Amino acid sequence: MHPSPLPVLVVGSGPTGLTLAIDLARRGVGVRIIDKSPEFPRTSRAKGPNPRSLEVLEDLGVVDAVLAAGAAPLPMRKYRGGVAVADAEPFADQRPTPDAPYDRPRMMAQWRLEEVLRARLAEYGVRVELGAELVGLAEGEASVTATLADGGLIEASYAAGCDGGHSAVRKLLGVPFEGKTDETQLMVCGDVEVEGLDRGFWHQWFDEDGAVMLCPIPGTRSGWWFQAGPERDASGAPMPPSLAGFRRLFAKHTGLPSDRLTEATLLSTYRVNERMAARYRVGRVLLAGDAAHVHSIAGGLGMNTGIQDAYNLGWKLGRVAAGLAGPALLDTYEEERLPVAAQVLDISAERLRATLEAIKKPGGGLDSAVGPGTNGLGGGYHWSSLAASPRATPRLRAGDRAPDAPCLDAATGDPRRLFDAFAGPHFTLLGFGTGTGGALRGAAAVHGDELRAYGVDADGPSGRLSDHEGHARAAYGVGPDDELLVLVRPDNHIGLIAEADDVKAVTAYLSGDEI
């Protein structure tokens, strides 16, 4: 295994491509990221990162910028016949917990999140190459060559198609995009300017013959996300979205003067597609984000699943490109993420069904789109070949998301969370109890920079964390007198749980062909 002198090519600079490019760049892997668009988008589209994506963004070093640019989810105000009938706050009962610091999504325009991600990427010296449309791909023995629309060629070690639902990469690979398109569930959406509406609410008007939903776009004075059932012509066919049409829908369902809505951009008709790629990897080319799966926006999982795909792929592609692991590691990306896409399709279909049912009744609204699975925190990769583990605990098994816990740095007494210890491109070995000290030192000596080894109430080469309130032991299901090793992958999932002195298990895991 040798490091490739060629860069990894990321095709598409949406949230998926940018996340992947940052994760590669922070590992020191050469990366180029191209986009066919001549300029960066200013359209709002997805409404913001969910709790799991916020954890990913924290690891990538941008969560403070994201929290500052976004806003807390607003209460929803629901109307019938133009009259407010109910308010709902779907996240009102949720609180951050020691093991999960983000209890609700952060609302922000997609273009703003992309701006934050691009700024982070630029810190590694990588800039998106605009006006660069991929039109061809050819795989050689040790590289893949992309052809651009202007005839330019880019030779790369690997290519990642993060180029959205109409993915040219997926089509060029001939990978089927299996599923269905529902032409009956249509919605028009756009970014609009509206004056004189209370920006403290996500307003939702539902009537027998349609709906209009308006959510303020954070960071703007009078910008709103607009969603509505489409107007239909005399034959019942949906009419294309337009400013005039949005104003008619606005006046009809809100009872407010149509001239309050002054501008509309990103005019789009949205159909519910439920499709996923049959494969995520063909040789040196991988698919991620909307290129790999599309589904209803109910539950807000579209962009979030893409960010989380990229987080799963980043460390694997980074290790393979750097010559630290064989290409078999890349197969675990499809092995882990393709079933997640299937789950996400099911979750979003169920949230859509629940929402369509709820809005038939007065007081029903988009709060029904929030439900089990939409925070992204639940899932693990238990079926993965990377999750074979000698031990489990009553709380956790290999493949699970690695929980956070507030601890103290035993040397300084300063607060130090487990997420602080995990942050960065390395694996983290946690040793619970003093009996793990030898294994922590042994593993660190073998694996050098790729592993940080912390003792939880034990001395580790990377530091000693004091679990002064027992949150770490509670989150990891380790009893007060139990001693255990827990290996956390760079994407903050549990790789391995082993006996306190089982340094061999750790070394075997980190030296395996797949890793």
Ligand X SMILES: Cc1cc2nc3c(=O)[nH]c(=O)nc-3n(C[C@H](O)[C@H](O)[C@H](O)COP(=O)(O)OP(=O)(O)OC[C@H]3O[C@@H](n4cnc5c(N)ncnc54)[C@H](O)[C@@H]3O)c2cc1C
Q: Do residues 265 and 191 touch, judged by C-beta distance below 8 A?
A: yes
Min dist CB 500 to ligand X, Å, is 42
* Of 4, 6, 7, 13, the one binding ligand X by CB under 6 A: 13
Q: Which stretch binds ligand X (CB under 6 A): 6-14, 236-244, 257-265, 403-411?
A: 6-14
| By CB under 6 A, residue 376 contacts ligand X | no
CB atoms within 10 A of CB 212: 23
With CA atoms as reference, report the closest residue to 269 among 348, 186, 352, 212. Answer: 186
User: Is the CB of 309 or the CB of 467 nearer to ligand X?
Assistant: 309
* Nearest approach, Cβ of residue 374 and ligand X (Å): 10
**Stretches 12-20, 151-159, 235-243, 418-426: which one binds ligand X (CB under 6 A)?**
12-20
Q: Which is nearer to ligand X, 129 or 501 (CB)?
A: 129
User: At closest approach, how far in Å is the CB of 304 from ligand X?
Assistant: 7
Q: Write down the least CB distance from residue 189 to ligand X, Å.
A: 5
Considering beta carbons, is residue 35 or 231 the nearer one to ligand X? 35
Query: Alpha helices, DSSP H only, in 187-327?
Result: 243-254, 302-321
Residue 47 interacts with ligand X (CB under 6 A): yes or no: yes
- The smaller minimum CB distance to ligand X, of residues 281 and 471, is found at 281
* Part in contact with ligand X (CB under 6 A); list of ranges 40-48, 234-242, 330-338, 352-360: 40-48
What tokens does 416 get? Answer: 């130090």
The minimum distance between CB 225 and ligand X, in angstroms, equals 7
* In the complex, least distance from residue 67 CB atom to ligand X, rounded to whole angstroms: 19
What part of residues 156-215 is at the interface with ligand X (CB under 6 A)? Answer: 162-164, 168, 189
* Residue 156: its H or E element: strand 153-156
Phi-psi region of 25 (alpha: psi -120 to 50; beta: other; left: phi over 0): alpha
> Of these, 21, 134, 154, 488, which contacts ligand X (CB under 6 A)?
134
Matching residue, tokens 């951009």: 265
Among 14, 51, 98, 380, binds ligand X (CB under 6 A): 14
Closer to ligand X by CB, 150 or 449: give it: 150
Q: Let me know the angle formed at the C-alpha of 408 by 403 and 410, rounded to the nearest 5 degrees.
A: 125
Total residues at the site for ligand X (CB under 6 A)? 32
Tell me the C-alpha to C-alpha distance, in Å, between residue 216 and each of 213, 254, 298, 348, 360.
Answer: 10, 16, 18, 23, 24
**Minimum Å distance from CB 262 to ligand X?**
19
Q: Are 180 and 167 in contact (CB under 8 A)?
A: no
Least separation in angstroms between CB 485 and ligand X: 36
**Tokens found for residue 326:** 């064989």
In three-state secondary structure terms, 6 is: coil
Beta pairing partners, 80: 83, 206
State which of positions 96-115 bind ligand X (CB under 6 A).
110
CB neighbours of 408 closer than 8 A, spacing ≥ 6? Answer: 414, 415, 416, 465, 466, 468
* DSSP 8-class letter at 73: P
* Residue 434 Cβ vs ligand X, minimum distance, rounded to whole Å: 46
- HEC states along 197-252? CCCCCEEEEEECCEEEEEEECCCCCCEEEEEECCCECCCCCECCCCHHHHHHHHHH
Query: Helix (H, G, I), strand (E, B), or coil: what is residue 136?
Result: strand
Please state whether beta strands 210-216 and 427-432 pair in parallel, antiparallel, or not at all (unpaired): unpaired
Nearer to ligand X, 111 or 124 (CB): 111
Can you spell out the DSSP letters for 333-358?
HHHHHHHHHHHHHHHHHHHHHHHHHH
Q: Residue from 6, 10, 33, 35 that binds ligand X (CB under 6 A)?
A: 35
User: Which residue, 47 or 471, is less far from ligand X as judged by CB?
Assistant: 47
**What's the min distance (Å) between Cβ of 339 and ligand X?**
18
What is the spatial distance between Cα 315 and Cα 332, in angstroms, rounded to a whole number?
11
The nearest distance, CB 301 to ligand X, in angstroms, is 6
In this structure, the number of other CB atoms found within 10 A of the CB of residue 507 comes to 16
Binding mask 216-255 for ligand X (x = CB under 6 A): ----------------------------------------
Distance of CA 481 to the CA centre of its chain: 37
Q: Where does this chain touch ligand X (CB under 6 A) — which range of 11-19, 354-362, 460-468, 496-504?
A: 11-19
SS (H, E, C) 256-273: CCHHHEEEEEEEEEEEEE
Only segment of 43-51, 199-207, 246-254, 356-364 that touches ligand X (CB under 6 A): 43-51
Q: How many residues does the chain have?
A: 515
Q: Which is nearer to ligand X, 142 or 149 (CB)?
A: 149
Say what the alpha-carbon torsion angle 493, 499, 504, 509 is, to the nearest 10 degrees: -20
Q: Which of residues 294-333 bind ligand X (CB under 6 A)?
A: 297, 300-303, 306
CB of 17 to ligand X, least distance (A): 5
Q: Does 269 bind ligand X (CB under 6 A)?
A: no
| Of the candidate residues 7, 8, 17, 275, the single one contacting ligand X (CB under 6 A) | 17
Binding site for ligand X (CB under 6 A): 11-17, 34-37, 45-47, 110, 133-134, 162-164, 168, 189, 266, 268, 289-290, 297, 300-303, 306
